[in-house]
Amino acid sequence: MSLKIYLPLVILILIFSCSAFSQKHVPVSQVEIKLSFAPLVKKVAPAVVNIFTRKTVTQRSFSPLFDDPFFRRFFGGQLRKNSQSRKKVQNSLGSGVIVKSDGIVITNHHVIKGADEITVVLSDRREFDAEIIVSDKRTDLAILKIRELNDELPFLALRDSDDLEVGDLVLAIGNPFGVGQTVTSGIVSALARTQVGINDLNFFIQTDAAINPGNSGGALVSLDGKLVGINSAIYSKGGGSVGIGFAIPTNMVRTVLTSLSSGGRVIRPWVGAEGQGVTSDIATSLNMKRPVGVLIKRVYPKGPSDRASIKVGDVIVAVGKHNVNNSESLRFRIITQPIGEKLDIWLIRKAIKQRVTFLVEAPPEKPLAEKAKVVGYNPLQGVLVGNLSPALADQIGKSLFLRGVIILEIQQGSPAQRFGFQRYDIIKKLNNSKIKKVKQLTSLLSKKLGEWVISIERGGSILSLAIKR
């Protein structure tokens, strides 16, 4: 065929292409993906904010002679008196997402940790002061409230993050390196990443959408314009994006948002049991065809697992419609459910698969914490102690099976610090008395003793320290 016959066809294709590009809309097919994300970005970007924080720290400068052991021994006190202190303002940046029109912003805990002042900058460059409503270290999430807001703000609705599939297209929006709001695109690379080590409650969405320092707290958005995750961290050896980023799923975000109706306190349900992922060796010993599920090793008496008739040796393979293969995924499936909900848990017991009903409950606060600061002339002067309960253990990220009196805080420069006591040491014995409650400990420490022999539990080991008056 001659060129004259092809020419009209080429012209028609060009006209159609130009028409398609002139009418932008959210891509809904493979062909339209090649067009533009601009309509989606225009819709969601106004709900993503920049966060600037300021923190004042006090720095003390000591004489170089203080590093010499001889001078430190004979003149240490005087050198400290002559030391100079100065205040320094540290600035940091991050991102956040407006999730309610009245100015409720979600960001990362590490973005606003220790901040004295927080400024939220909207996409239209308006600036507002903000206050911290909730900051939860265990999930690395925080809730901010914009102050003195006179009008409603654009916000992002939360999508069920369990609807995501590997390969779904997503956008990451934030403020990398402080250059201003930036949008990157990618796909969901993996789901349910639990071996990341970013926080105590590991369960992340992995994406190859470029995430860099400053993106923390920003939005991971699906193509329907809804929030599916809060960008939290990257895997990087040099500080820049290498295509492996992690976002906290919105189902975890919802558990923190519920704290708005509980006075700012994050209440997480508990499993009431401890277990481990099933390995090939364990699967073989249990006559399982393949290694799946979580092998239960301990069950808390009268806890939710105990009442659901879950026993030591059971292998939990699914919570509802979701499979679980390690302790982190089991815990995630429980703590992201509302308290009072009933769940179907599937388990294998003696090679038979069966279902039990699990009631979602908050961990009990028994015994009451009864937090107290130790005073007086004794080796524990300057510590804050409390009675361990499942609720307190969950709050500080420790095993819910631990019992006794735990050190929660240690005052800087106190006798307790100098004697080497550490945060989260559990005080087991004082002289010959087993310590079970705070009142018992403070009562014994108030007595005038010639010697203290204190036993503590640290990292599963028992350590003892003898101190004479």
Model pLDDT for residues 260-307, shown as the tens digit of each residue: 777 777 888 999 999 999 999 999 998 888 999 999 999 999 999 999
Kind and range of the H or E element at 173?
strand 169-174
According to the model, what pLDDT value does residue 154 have? Answer: 93
Per-domain boundaries in the chain: 47-146, 273-359, 372-468
Identity at 97, one-letter amino acid code:
V
**For domain 372-468, which architecture applies?**
Roll (2.30)
Task: Say which range, 87-96, 128-137, 357-366, 442-451, has the weakest mean pLDDT.
Answer: 87-96
According to the model, what pLDDT value does residue 8 have? Answer: 47
CATH number of 47-146: 2.40.10.10
Residues annotated catalytic, as ranges: 110, 140, 216
Q: Which fold has domain 273-359?
A: Pdz3 Domain (2.30.42)
Please spell the DSSP secondary structure of 365-404, one letter per residue: --S----EE--SSSTTTTEEEEE--HHHHHHHT--TT--S
The reply to whether 372-468 shares the fold of 47-146 is no
Give me the residue label for tokens 């003149």.
Answer: 75
DSSP-assigned letter for residue 243:
S
Please say if the pLDDT value at position 79 is more than 70.
no
Contact 133/141 with Cβ under 8 angstroms? no
What's the pTM value of the predicted model, to 2 decimals? 0.77
Contact 173/48 with Cβ under 8 angstroms? yes
Structure tokens at 392: 């307190």
183 — phi, psi (to 5°)?
Answer: -115, 130
According to the model, what pLDDT value does residue 195 have? Answer: 57
Nearest to 153 by CA among 225, 52, 47: 47
